[in-house]
Amino acid sequence: MGLLDALKKRKLGGGAGGASKRACAAAAAANGSAQPPADPTEELRRRLANGGFAALVASHKSKNTRTAHRKQRKAEAAARAAAAQQRRHEAAAADRRQRHPAGSDSDGEAGDAAAAAAATGSVAIDGQEAERQQTAYTRLLGSLGSGGGAFASVLQQRQREQAGDSDISDDEEEEGSDGQDDEEGGSGSELGSDESDEEEELGSDGEELEGSQQEEDGGSGDDDEAAAAAHANGHAGGGSSQAEEEAEEQQQQQVAANGRGAQGQAGAAAAAPVEDHYLEHFDRELSEAEAAALLDGGAQSTRYLDCCAAGKRRTRGGSKGGEQGPAVPAELLHQWPDATLQAAEGTRLPQSLPSDLGAYGVKERLAARWREVASPAAAPAAAAQGSTAAAAAADAAGGEGDFVSAQQQALFSLLSTYSDLLLPCRPYPTAADAPDPLLDAVLLHALSHCAKAADRIKKNNDRLRGARDQVAPALDAVPKDQGFTRAKVLLLLPQRNLALRVVSRLLALAVRETRTDTIQHKQRFLEEFGEEDEELTEREAAAVARKPPEHRALFKGNTDDHFRLGIKLTRGAVKLFADFFDSDIIVASPIALATRLAEAGDDGAADFLSSVEILVAERADVMLMQNWAHVATVLDSLNRIPKDGHGVDMMRVRDWALSGHGALYRQTVLLGSFASAEMNALLARACRNAAGKVRLRPTPAGVLGQVIPQARQVFERLPGEGVGGPGGDADARFAHFKAALWPRIRESGRSGGHLIYIPSYFDYVRVRNYLREEMAPFLGLCEYTDRADAARARSYFFDRRKRVLLYTERAQFYNRHRIRGAQDILFYQLPEHPQFYSELLNLMEEGGTGESPTVTAVFSRYDALRLERVVGAARAAKMLKQRKTGTFLFC
């Protein structure tokens, strides 16, 4: 049954108990025991909670709502008639007092006076009730009217009614008169009894004034204890000690005393700086002009400026147009020596780097758990991550307070501002179990965000329970602290083995396992995400051992790329494999979410993603090797207004979420080992965060110094580049291959050893089909080639049975084949991973006549990031600016 049908059924008493309820109400009215009118605010809240957002919109258009309006006008007319009757009674009493002296009132006159007094009190109560109902309803329409549509029209209709104009058309009046007997039963009863009956039916479920996102665990009996604890503590859960509650209360009082985002106040001692921007970000109300500017800005390129150190004299020479970027603490700029911190205009940036987690608003229970878990990982962190000597020295110098390194502290301060972040400075670890301080900072930020949201909802629930005894609580007193659904954090990961490491670390930071049921369904998680039992032969094991250590660490374990996992957090327990609508954190791969969205169609498939407030894409560079279109599909499905209400209390949903502006408050964090054009485009077009955008712009030194053979390396600029944009660049590249590159290979005197490296699979298919038409002796080796065919192709190429070998970047990424026998390499396009360039060149061999190997690399201005990772940032800038020649030689 749909939401609208359910709302009508509840309102009209169509259920099994509807007739009995009306009969009881009529009997109570006949016996003079009618209940006092229920609180209109409570009735309106219950109607929203039962019907949801869509039902509220539909109810404004329904005949039932017009009937309610007629009943309200009838009550107002009755109040006016009672007031007129009171005036007549007062006039008659005054006339009698003039005819009879004082003290000669008869018993009948005394009764008339008592009746007049009772009528006066009744009129006053009715007038106050009608005024309160009008004020509450008008305030609700005003708060939701910014969304347009039915709310705006009903608000205008309400304003016309209050001004004395007609609120319905002639056709609606006729329809209302025809259906009046059905709605009121033809009894001519007054509004009080009808509304009392209706409110009794709407409130029959005994709902309380709480957040609708409650703890509801379903499934086996091992969840009962955690479910009971979670229900007892609302959204935040249970199981915390009284000491933790008091510590968190003191922490919040200190943060409030220091002021949001301030540096502290003068006093006996200087207050610690506060970098907690949670309330500042999510309680910010954007004007229509600001929201429109952010939404329109997605189609334009983002303008970044280089950040400068605070307190120093600013000099000209920013990243764009000679402008100087915003000021940040100097320590923040020194943590990534091989990158430049850039921020878009108007971005919220940290003004200090506190070393205490309490200054960031982290709950005391999370901070205590962090100190237990994260600190032992500090010692080998820099070496395991393969960081530079300068970065390792900076980490060792700045590891103070609650953070294990200064770089971790800087990253957490950037995350705490809730601005979007692109961090392409995370090299692949050389060991699967290597500590990752930067990932720990991201996970702590996600856990802290969920804890802040849950704590705020719980405190508001307690406050509303205490205020429930008031006669008429105002709608303005209902807090706006929720989204449409519960899930607030989305973690995108490319493979199950990475999900195993991330979720295991998340669980370690979230709770301490004091009971067997502290983490529910943990064994199932280990079985589904753990290492696959695969027996390797001695030869295969030797081949794996020859691969680079970062490759072995990245692909150790279960590399399946299709998974989805919901995580529900409470204070004392964590539930894995929770329903998405009952989860706080969703961990999934892009392809798994994309397939679910495609299978469900448009029937509310993306509702569980409607209230995501933090999106983290860990190892975005690995997703680039899968299918980046799935990542774009997921981002397009975020923060949409859901098709269904899913039991949410619409009175508690934030106004900006009701207006469809959830994407303007979502924080997007992209983490990877390098930056790509696809990542920059995603950050510019799909991320419209009101807090702004921050990115690290690496300045790589290149990999030309890692090439051992004395090869002749020629870099050719693609002729006719820029025509038709990036899409036209692919066509121009293929045309250049047919016109110049392939004839050069075909007419060369070499008997074989021509390797054509093609990053894109679509370009690979295009070139493969063309070579088939040309009857060329070639072999193809891509990511879809099975192991036996790949070994055969490599053998044929090495033995010169085939002159040409087509090779894709994904095949190199997933397998790291050792392609031997190459004497001439053509880079159809430069690789995304710069180490692949040096690896392939170091496997080249000299020709039979002693001639040196040759390398040809084609580039365009759209390959600027790829080019600077290979030749270095300084050389790449000169090559892209050079217009006199398009050929560059390196030996």
Stretches where the chain sits below pLDDT 50 are 1-4, 6-35, 37, 44, 51-63, 102-125, 127, 129-134, 136-137, 141, 146-150, 154, 163-241, 255-271, 315-321, 376-397
Q: How far apart are CA 722 and CA 747, in angstroms?
A: 30
Under 8 Å between Cβ of 46 and 203: yes
What's the pLDDT score for residue 103? Answer: 44
Pick from 220, 243, 245, 217: nearest CA to 230: 217
CATH annotation of 277-467+485-532+544-698: 3.40.50.300
Calculate the CA 493 to chain-centre distance: 14
Q: How far apart are CA 643 and CA 236, in angstroms?
A: 26
Contacting residues for 443 by C-beta, under 8 A, at least 6 apart: 502, 505, 506, 509
Predicted pLDDT at 342: 95
Contact (Cβ atoms closer than 8 angstroms) between residue 306 and residue 341: yes
Place of tokens 């030869």: 539
Name residue 827's beta-bridge partners.
757, 857
Element of type H or E holding 447: helix 437-466
Which tokens hold the place of 406? 């200064």
pLDDT tens-digit readout, 38-48: 555 555 455 55
Q: Could you give the residue range(s) of every CATH 3.40.50.300 domain in the chain?
A: 277-467+485-532+544-698, 704-890
Residue 572 CB partners (closer than 8 Å, separation 6+): 226, 229, 237, 238, 239, 240, 511, 518
Identify the pLDDT of residue 39.
54
Residue at 655: amino acid letter? D
SS3 letters across 448-467: HHHHHHHHHHHHHHHHHHHC
| Ramachandran class of 165: left when φ > 0, alpha when ψ lies in -120 to 50, beta otherwise | beta
pLDDT of residue 156: 57
**Token pair belonging to 451:** 């804890």
Q: How does DSSP assign 724-791, residue by residue?
A: THHHHHHHHHHHHIIIIIHHHHHTSS-SS-EEEEES-HHHHHHHHHHHHHTT--EEEE-TTS-HHHHH
704-890 — its CATH code? 3.40.50.300
Separation of alpha carbons 722 and 741, rounded Å: 20
Buried b (16+ CB within 10 A) or exposed e, 670-681: bbbbbbbebbbe
Is-contact 48 652, C-beta < 8 A? no
Single-letter residue type at 87: R
What pLDDT does 882 receive?
86
Interior CA angle at 387 toward 549 and 545, to 5°? 5
3-state secondary structure of 565: strand
Which residues fall within 8 angstroms of residue 470, CB to CB, at 6 or more apart? none
Please tell me the predicted confidence (pLDDT) of residue 406: 94
Type of residue numbered 401: G
pLDDT of residue 142: 53
> What tokens appear for 880 in the block?
């892209």
pTM confidence score: 0.72
